[in-house]
Amino acid sequence: MAKIAIVGAGGYVFPLRLIGDLLSHPELQSCTLALMDIDAGRLERTASAARALVAAHNLPTRIETTTEQRRALDGADYVFVTFQIGGLEAYRLDVEIPRRYGIDQTVGDTLGPGGVFRFLRSAPVFRSIAGDLREVSPHALLLNYANPMAMICWYLDRLGCNAVGLCHSIQETSRLMARQVGVPYDEVRFMAAGINHLAWFLQFRRGDEDLYPELRRVMRLRHLPQPAGQTATIAPDPEGDIYDGRRERVRTEMMESFGYFHTESSHHSSEYSPYFRKNAALVAEYLPERWDYYTICSTHDDSGWTDRLLADLTTELTPSVEYGASIVLARESGQPSLIYGNVPNRGVITNLPEGCCVEAPCHIDGLGVHPFAVGALPPQCAALDRAMIAVQELAVEAALTGNREHIHHAVMLDPLTAAVLTLPQIRAMVDEMIAAEAAWLPDFAATAG
């Protein structure tokens, strides 16, 4: 039966959730799970929970643990990557240094200075994984859950690694859209494509009914400021946690301006464009309740989460909305599946650069991952994606060549950074980040400082 390696298995909650997804399918319960993390204590926390889950359901699953990457990868059929290189210490630098220069990132893991540096810290580790796989598991499929998704998957493709990137933004956004229009989720049909965190819902239907007119109507009333003297005559957002009545103002305004709804939350996607975060007053206007993911991560108490998830999975072993387990199931069983994956653009989206990483529907079967040929995006949507792709391309080139100047180029091309800072300011910020994060940037150690 298949050997499934999880690199970064010591993370809180998600690795165990992934294990629960895999073991919820009877066809996969005889697999070997090779759990790997550089932190032996955190690794054992996940492994103990996994063993308890296997015992509770009397499964034949074999659990192995190791702190050695190559050992985990040896003979693996599938490799899941779930790590964050540098942890909270590096993440703090990703957000605090740019903030001093006026770049206020809500997450900082996808684009901008935070996304670029998170990628550059990850690149040497992915290069090591790709090298090990060539030698000990050349036919393995790497399933990446680490951010920045598009940069990492583009880089892996340039290294010749067989990989697909997985994110849950399409699953979650499509559910949000169904709730907004009051249609049961199992009745909606959609088609989305673009790049990770800025893919576009090109179709949103129920049978022959186009649901976009109703989506635009409700989103305008719920999430955009109403003209003076006029109030919205529509029920509140069914999620019930509206931020000052405008929880999705950014995405709604983007849809009004560019015609289509996209796949990342208003808080997170406000980082990828030059329109919403130029100064504190503008941020407060568009996003009246501050959402700061670094603060959430650094102050969050993770104690008990693993135990609660284990209790839930012990009671009922059911899969989540994540795509990872469904890919393994389709490959192992031959029963086809449809997922949205991050894959190389080889004829998938014709008006995005060839070879970049795109997010698109993919058919999965016993032979592999087969992206659909989507064709051209609406030109305005492709243009917005290309602005992000320019940053990704230069960051990938920096990792491939060790050229420090390309780090500057990548951040200089970032839409938000360019809207706020001058070129000399960007150079100073990038130099400060390279120096501060030098311990995680061995490719640039000779030129740091």
Burial of 63 (0-12, 13-18, 19+ CB in 10 A): middle
Catalytic residue among 57, 168, 363, 370: 168
Q: Judge whether 139 counts as a catalytic residue.
A: no
Q: What phi-psi label fits residue 176: left (phi over 0), alpha (psi between -120 and 50 degrees) or beta?
A: alpha
Q: How far apart are CA 14 and CA 82, in angstroms?
A: 8
DSSP per-residue codes, 149-188: HHHHHHHHHHTT--EEE--SHHHHHHHHHHHHHT--GGG-
Cβ contacts of 426 within 8 Å, gap of 6 or more: 408, 411, 412, 417, 418
b/e burial code for range 326-351 (CB count within 10 A of at least 16 → b): bbbbbbbeeeebebbbbbbbeebbee
Q: Of all helices (H) and strands (E), which one includes residue 40?
A: helix 40-56
Paired strand residues for 361 = 340
How far is 327 from 314, CA to CA, in rounded Å?
23
Work out whether the CA dihedral 300, 306, 308, 313 comes out positive or negative: positive
Give the residue numbers annotated as catalytic, written as ranges.
168
